[in-house]
Structure formats: C-alpha cells, structure tokens
C-alpha cells in the first residue's frame, strides 16, 4: 500500500510517500525558520502564506523523489489537527482537491498520532501496550495504548509545552531561533548544577506537566545574576552556558519523573519518545539509561532526528493504518485547531 502524506499543522510544509506504513520513499519538508526567525516564534498568518506558497511544489517533489505518480498511490493522508487553523486548512484543502481530482480515498490523521507512528517506521518490534511521551514545541503529553488505534491520555501540559519553554529562554538570552536545538548544543558546555530549579508538584496528584514556573525561575536567575542577552554574533558567556544547562536539565528531570510515575502505574512493555524535543541528545541518553537499565528493563524507542520534527512520513504511516478498501473521500472533511486524540 502506497500512501501520500501531507502535513501543514504549524510552520513546516511537508509531503511524503510511504509504502506499507514503514518504507519511506520520499520525505520532503519546506522549512519556515527564516520567515519566523526575526520574530522569535511562529507568526500564524505568515505561516499560512508560506504553506500556500510551498505546498504544490512540496507534493510534486515528493512524487518526483519517489519516482511515482498519482496513479501509483492507494490513498492520501492529511493532518486534520491539532495545530494552527490557517496552516491546517491549507493542507486539508489541498489534500481534498488532489484526492478528488485523482479519485483516491482521503483519510484524516491526528498530528499527535502521527508523532506516535514516527517511532514505528524504523522500529517494527515495538510491543503493546506502550507508553508514549509526545514532547514538542506545541505538545507535551503521555499517551498509553493497549492496541493499535486505542489511546488513553495519561498526562498533558497545563501551561507551556516543554519545547516552548526551551524556545522562550533562548529568546530571553538572545541565542536565536528555534531555541531547543541551540540550548541542546550549548548545554554540553555548561554545568547543569549551577542554578537551582524545583520540579513543580501538581496538587491534585495527576501526572500532568507544568513548565511555566521554570521560565519564572530563569528570569529570576537572570535578574539576580545580572545576565545580559547575547549580542548578535557575540560569544556566549560562561554564566549563560551554565544557566541553559541547568534549565534544560530541570525540564528533562520533569519529563523523566512523570514518565517514571506513569510506568509504575501502567506497566507498559515499550516506551516511545517522540516529537520535536525527542531530538534532544541529553533527553535521549537519559531516557535510555533510566528505563532500559532499570530493574524493569523496558525498551525505549525513538525516531531518527528527521522523523521527530513535523514531517509527512509520520502522517502517511498513521494514515496507512486507517486506509482500507472501503475508504472514500469526504468532501466535508475539515480542520480542527484543538483536535483531541483521546
């Protein structure tokens, strides 16, 4: 089964051709980093315009790279939500028009489920039940699944997502955009024991995440220490290196702590680490050490870096699981900014 995936939930316009849910024949992504860099974050209106500009070329290139045409595909999968509504509508509208013109079925995909399926593309041995930590700039959640297509929400972010918290500190310090990869790189040169950050405790006993307090604490450290944002092109000071290392470590500790509690309650056979922040080298390392080398020895799976950030291969993989002979084209299909997985 050959599926065309289309992804446009935020600021990446992406298309991919995936065979049998695992063999990636092409995976094309048009980045908007240059467009949003001067703003220090994604501007929704500009993102929508860039999607309109890029989507036709991205889909054409996905077919060209794979050496396929629309006649070869069995169906189209498109991100329906959650995400920026203007961005989502570009992808959904294009997918509906294409599916109608080439007479192929169209299946909607939840963006979060797409991230979960990104781990399955390269890891066919994942066992159910699994616990997935979906962590990115827009989402931080723990999802439990007993079998394919069935999901239970275990925890979510009550305020900022982990990736958003990393981006905002980078913006405060003048480090650049996107902030997550920059902080990951700089943290290797800093001492994570220099600044103290307390892991927030949720009073109702849930496993939910909260990261806004880290930003407040970081601003307090910046004010008390007299840290000045780095000037453009300037050298990063030792105190900034120590601050970002301490800040990143606090976020990682929170993610580990809540995941560990969920594991003790649910006893999964596999753990998935997915989403843009799953690219973080320290987070990957610590996840492996904590869960694979513990007494329970649970296998940890995560995608290659190219499949962790928003991409269409994961949407095609998720769509393949939903595509069947009776699938059709629903011209009433719409996008939803707050679409829930479970």
Query: At 148, which CATH number?
Result: 3.30.420.40
SS3 189: coil
Tell me the pLDDT of the chain (342 aa) as tens digits. 999 999 999 999 999 999 999 999 999 999 998 999 888 889 999 999 999 999 999 999 999 999 999 999 999 999 999 999 999 999 999 999 999 999 999 999 999 999 999 999 999 889 999 999 999 988 899 999 999 989 999 999 999 899 999 999 999 999 988 899 999 999 999 999 999 998 888 778 789 999 989 999 999 999 999 988 887 777 899 999 999 999 999 999 999 999 999 999 999 999 999 999 999 999 999 999 999 876 678 999 999 999 999 999 999 999 999 888 778 888 889 999 999 998
169 and 111 both lie in a single domain: no
Give the predicted TM-score (pTM) of the model.
0.94
Residue 78 falls inside a structural domain: yes
| The predicted structure's pLDDT at residue 162 | 92
40 and 160 both lie in a single domain: no
SS3 204: coil
8 and 57 both lie in a single domain: yes
Residue 299 falls inside a structural domain: no
Token pair in block for residue 242: 């120590």
135 and 157 both lie in a single domain: yes
Residues in contact with 81: Cβ distance below 8 Å, sequence separation at least 6, in sequence order? 9, 88, 110, 111, 335, 336, 337, 338, 339
Q: How many CA atoms lie within 13 A of 12 on its CB side?
A: 22
135 and 90 both lie in a single domain: no
95 and 225 both lie in a single domain: no
| The predicted structure's pLDDT at residue 202 | 79
Q: Structurally, how many domains does the chain consist of?
A: 2
Phi, psi of 230 (to 5 degrees): -65, 135
E strand spans, the chain: 2-7, 12-19, 23-31, 75-81, 106-110, 130-135, 140-145, 152-156, 270-274, 299-301
Phi, psi of 298 (to 5 degrees): -90, 135
147 and 190 both lie in a single domain: yes
132 and 89 both lie in a single domain: no
Token pair in block for residue 151: 């999901």
261 and 168 both lie in a single domain: yes
Token pair in block for residue 98: 């294409």
Residue 183 falls inside a structural domain: yes
Beta-strand pair 106-110/75-81: parallel
SS3 167: helix
Expressed as residue numbers, the domain containing 156 is 128-268
| The predicted structure's pLDDT at residue 203 | 75
Domain boundary among 268, 298, 331: 268
Per-residue b/e over 172-188, b at no fewer than 16 CB within 10 Å?
A: bbebbbbbbbbbbebbe
The answer to whether 126 and 140 are in contact (CB under 8 A) is no
Rounded-to-integer distance, Cα 270 and Cα 216, Å: 35
Token pair in block for residue 148: 């394919």
């Amino acid at each position: 089964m050959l599926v065309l995936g289309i992804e446009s939930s935020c600021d990446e316009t992406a298309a991919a051709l995936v065979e049998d849910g695992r063999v990636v024949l092409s995976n094309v992504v048009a980045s908007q980093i240059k467009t949003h860099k001067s703003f220090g974050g994604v501007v929704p209106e500009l993102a929508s315009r860039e999607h309109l500009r890029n989507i036709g070329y991205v889909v054409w290139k996905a077919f060209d790279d794979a050496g396929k045409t629309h006649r070869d595909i069995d169906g189209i999968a498109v991100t329906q939500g959650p995400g920026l509504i203007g961005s989502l509508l570009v992808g959904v509208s294009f997918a509906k028009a294409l599916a109608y013109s080439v007479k192929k079925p169209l299946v909607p995909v939840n963006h979060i489920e797409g991230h979960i399926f990104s781990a399955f593309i390269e890891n066919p041995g994942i066992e159910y039940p699994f616990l997935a930590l979906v962590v990115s700039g827009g989402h931080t959640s723990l999802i439990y699944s007993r079998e394919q297509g069935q999901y239970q929400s275990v925890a979510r972010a009550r305020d900022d997502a982990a990736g958003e918290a990393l981006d905002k500190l980078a913006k405060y310090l003048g480090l650049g955009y996107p902030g997550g990869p920059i902080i990951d790189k700089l943290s290797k040169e800093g001492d994570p024991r220099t600044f103290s950050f307390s892991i927030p405790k949720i009073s109702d006993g849930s496993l939910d995440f909260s990261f806004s307090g880290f930003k407040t604490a970081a601003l307090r450290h910046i004010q008390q220490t007299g840290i000045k944002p780095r000037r453009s092109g300037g050298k990063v000071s030792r105190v900034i290196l120590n601050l970002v290392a301490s800040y990143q470590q606090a976020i990682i500790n929170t993610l580990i702590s809540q995941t560990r509690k969920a594991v003790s309650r649910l006893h999964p056979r596999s753990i998935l680490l997915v989403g843009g922040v799953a690219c973080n080298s320290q987070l990957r390392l610590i996840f492996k050490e904590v869960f694979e080398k513990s007494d329970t020895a649970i296998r940890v799976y995560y995608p290659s870096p190219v499949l962790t950030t928003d991409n269409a291969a994961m949407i095609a993989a998720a769509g393949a699981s939903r595509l069947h002979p009776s699938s059709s084209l629903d011209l009433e299909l719409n996008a939803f900014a707050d679409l829930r997985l479970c």
